[in-house]
Amino acid sequence: MALWMVRAGRHGEHEDLALENGFACVGFEEVPDLSGFSKWEAVVDAVRNAYPDASQGRVNNYAGQLYAFANRMQVGDLVTLPLKTRHQIALGRVSGRYAYRTDIGDVHHTLPVKWIRPDVPRNDFAQDLLYSFGAFMTVCRVQRNNAAERVQAVLEGKPDPGLTAPPIIEEEGLEDGALRDIELLARDQILNALETQFKGHDLARLVGSSTAS
């Protein structure tokens, strides 16, 4: 069972569409239907034709994400969708195969997902998982620090158990070298610090004093 992060638009513009219709979706509107592209080289060629002015590095980056979305993500895999429009994370499972659709506007590349918990507060996860969820990629497999087992626990309504094995510093896969959403990560750290230092009435007094000023 693998754990994947899939975003729904740079600014979260497709989040409601994905959650309401039971799928994960990615952009790359210029790339054609990938249903028959089971080989990496075919996806690379499709991306290169779609973006002729892109560097080879960018072509490989896009192709890696699209190949994973269309071929590597399997029924039963866990999916996390960090929401940009609210301070929550949606959790679900892949429930079908990749489909190219033309009936939902400019979103074409879709993957059926059963969204089991679409509104998990971000602070239900420890900071190391939030760091992994902050990758600036559209599709990314998350493997560090027994992430899949921990997300499974949260999916079942349990607290994030935290690390149960030595943390992985380096690993192979799409997650390596991914840029991070620094603004979102900074907000997570600030909120975690506030919740740790100001609990209960202390937090209420802090909010009250801030409002008064």
* Same domain, yes or no: 96 and 107: yes
Q: Is the pLDDT of residue 174 over 50?
A: no
Predicted pLDDT at 162? 86
Return the half-sphere exposure (C-beta side, CA atoms, 13 A cut-off) of residue 179.
7
Q: Residue 160 is part of which domain span?
A: 3-180
pTM above 0.85, yes or no: no
Residues 6+ apart with CB under 8 A from 118: 19, 88, 90, 91, 92
Compute φ and ψ for 7, nearest 5 degrees.
Answer: -85, 165
Task: Report the relative pairing of strands 139-141 and 3-6 from DSSP bridges.
Answer: antiparallel
- Please tell me whether residues 132 and 166 are part of one structural domain: yes
| Residue 172 pLDDT > 80 | no
- The verdict on 159 and 209 lying in the same domain is no
Higher pLDDT, 71 or 177: 71
